[in-house]
Structure 1
């Protein structure tokens, strides 16, 4: 099977926002407790945070981390997580039917974020609470001093404000499962008034309004239109979420799902343009795709378990063990975001540790990289610069979700500072290798090429605590440069990163 690709310096999509490679941590399962925070762990720092996890997060080089939820935030009192730990209340979390000790709050998360070399993306509760709690939280976090909330922050040990710029106005408020669920009109009004109040405090803030939880919601896409008509001039981003499933164990259909993701982004992008034109607005709202990942391995089992347990603290929950097939899916998802980087400026893999996550930990034990860690790491590290509009000619197949699904899923990025062209490619064909010819035009001389390959003959292959490197990148073979032409062969069902030094 052959594919022909052209990359030209003049055909570009957009400069990629580094926050496209963001992450997410929610007070859910073991994401926080025995995930990032375990004071008795041998690697724990002075704040009780696991250094082994911090090291793995730093390797991902994820620029932002969304916190504290997720569904959790819609009934969360942020004040419960400040002050002396032994005085903080234990609360019942209605979202996940667990108990929350509040031993980790904004101070602890901020210190962890600094250690992990990531910026905070904070969410306010617009479910059970509203404008007042939101403005107080922002004042506590961002005001230098001389007010009630900023002085309380100082009393609690943080003299300087954290100056967090990116704030989410609630979470999945279109979802009937959400504590404080609202109609689009109700939420749009509340979000607009909250945004106005936050901008009265600081008009430099970047604000994210809730879009649809997924594109199968009965209210989609009218939700986006209604909410944006209420909030357009006051917000900077609209959030979208999508999770990917393969219950039928059909790899071809599974790997076609990013076509649905692409349509989702395209539709909401069109709604943004429509509302902007209708309101004669001068600002441009973009998309924050702040929850995405593969999620199905443990989903049904855990839904049953949650109905049977009491109110446990930090139970093992939603701990999907990812396989090699999921590497291919995550690669296709990231490629979609790169190709849509003109409108998708922020994206957050959900989540970061233990809960549907690229990093797993054992309480008191080791931390290791799941299979999906690697395509995310490669894209985060080398997918920064300018996204290229590639011309791709390759065989395709028809799937239930879409016709004409290319067997080659590829995205290209030009990093002018590093002098590199990087291509991220997935061969969706499980039976045949793919010989790829890439014509490189307008970039100057191509000096050398490096090929990184992730391949395993078993789609179900996983990484475990005892075998943490079963699936990992290796040096590819056979990538060659001949003048302005690059050729490489990709094995059936494989992921590749091809980097050209200019």
Structure 2
């Protein structure tokens, strides 16, 4: 079966914001404790952070990490995580029914970000708390000194401000499961006033207001319209969240789900445009898709802990999905969707980064390894920076219950103008082999294929484990050809590949 793709340097969607490849660490399960932080581990640095994990995070080149939640933030007192560790209180986390030692807080996480070559995206608690706590945290984090909260930061060992620029105004406030859940009007008013106060401190801050937790919420998309009506002229982004599952064990329907993602994005983009017109505003609000991933493998095993049957355990294994090769294809499809909609989605956060629905897994006192989904995220993060191209794709289709007719071959491409590269990210989500031909003649003399990575596996349910870490991994290929402005590649059934050419 044949597929044709036309790429042209003048057919551009947007300049991609590198923060499209962000991630997320929440005080949940083992994301922090025995995830990024394990003082007794053989690789631990002087701050107790695992250097083997830091190395893997640096390999992914994650530009931002959202912290400290997530549902956790909606009952979190940020003051508990600063000051001498021996004086920090142990709290009961109502979101995940666990105990929180507060051994890791703002200072420790900020130092980890420096080591991991990333930046903080901080969330404030607008669930159980509000405007006052948000402005105090902002002052603590960003004011040079000479005020109550900035002087407390200095007394706690940090003279220079953290200078955090990107802030989330709460988390999933539309969700009844959220501590301090609010109606759209209640939240919109609070978010507006909080944003106004934070901008009074620093007008250059980037602020993210809560959108819908998912497109199935009964309040969607009216939630977005109401919240933006309150906040449009004070915020920069509205957040969206979506998780993907294959409970039905139907690969065709599962791999069509990114069309639902695309519909979700464009519907909210329409709401943004409506409120912008209603406000007669010159501002442009974008989408921060700051939670997304496959999440379903671990849900059954987590029910006991989340119901409180285990009491209040400290850092238990929770949300530890073990990802399959099938999930590689799904993550590739999601990333392709974000690239194609990068004019609207400027920020995105893979949820999460370590152990908790994550591309990186660790064993306490043991190794760290790459889950299957590590690789499509790696390729997009490293080579998906530049201009997203508006491709013209002609592909066979198949019919799904999820989204109707979908193309068998799903493709995105990014032009690195400065380096002189075009990278194609290709997912064959069908059970048929595809012969793909890419017309790249408009780029002039396309000189060579500089990298061609392919992921296939005979077993869609294959996983990587502590004892078999490389069971699912990319392999360098030499089967693609480039000649006379034509790039040709064979795409095996159910396969992912990245092809990078010099132009």
Which string of whole-angstrom CA distances, capped at 9 and with x for unpartnered residues, describes residues 201-235 of structure 1?
00000000000000000000000000000000000
Shift of 1:483: 1.0
Which string of whole-angstrom CA distances, capped at 9 and with x for unpartnered residues, describes residues 241-299 of structure 1?
00000001000000000000000000000000000000001110000000000000011
In the other structure, the counterpart of 1:94 is 94
1:187-206 correspondence to structure 2 within 5 Å? 187-206=187-206
In the other structure, the counterpart of 2:12 is 12
SS of structure 2 residue aligned to 1:453: strand
In the other structure, the counterpart of 2:282 is 282
Which string of whole-angstrom CA distances, capped at 9 and with x for unpartnered residues, describes residues 333-389 of structure 1?
000000000000000000000000000000000000000000000000000000000
Indicate whether 1:433 and 2:445 are aligned: no
TM-score, normalized by length of structure 1? 0.99
Stretches of structure 2 lacking an aligned partner (at least 5 in a row):
none
Is contact 1:9–1:441 with CA below 8 Å preserved after alignment?
no
State how far apart, in whole Å, the 1-side matches of 2:45 and 2:359 are: 22
State how far apart, in whole Å, the 2-side matches of 1:49 and 1:355 are: 17
Shift of 1:475: 1.1
In the other structure, the counterpart of 1:220 is 220
Indicate whether 1:361 and 2:351 are aligned: no
Shift of 1:478: 1.5
Aligned residue-pair number: 501
In the other structure, the counterpart of 2:494 is 493
Is contact 2:448–2:482 with CA below 8 Å preserved after alignment?
yes
State how far apart, in whole Å, the 2-side matches of 1:398 and 1:264 are: 20
Is contact 2:24–2:352 with CA below 8 Å preserved after alignment?
yes
State how far apart, in whole Å, the 1-side matches of 2:19 and 2:160 are: 24
Is contact 2:97–2:305 with CA below 8 Å preserved after alignment?
no
State how far apart, in whole Å, the 2-side matches of 1:399 and 1:476 are: 31
Indicate whether 1:128 and 2:128 are aligned: yes
Which string of whole-angstrom CA distances, capped at 9 and with x for unpartnered residues, describes residues 54-108 of structure 1?
0000000000000000000000000000000010000000000000000000000
In the other structure, the counterpart of 2:447 is 447
Shift of 1:400: 1.4
1:6-405 correspondence to structure 2 within 5 Å? 6-307=6-307, 308-405=309-406
Shift of 1:443: 1.4
Shift of 1:300: 2.6
Which string of whole-angstrom CA distances, capped at 9 and with x for unpartnered residues, describes residues 147-168 of structure 1?
0000000000000001100000
Is contact 2:422–2:501 with CA below 8 Å preserved after alignment?
yes
Is contact 2:412–2:424 with CA below 8 Å preserved after alignment?
yes
Stretch deviating more after TM superposition (473-482 or 355-364): 473-482
TM-score, normalized by length of structure 2? 0.99
State how far apart, in whole Å, the 2-side matches of 1:409 and 1:195 are: 39
Is contact 1:397–1:407 with CA below 8 Å preserved after alignment?
yes
Shift of 1:404: 1.7
State how far apart, in whole Å, the 2-side matches of 1:367 and 1:17 are: 29
SS of structure 2 residue aligned to 1:398: strand
State how far apart, in whole Å, the 1-side matches of 2:61 and 2:478 are: 27
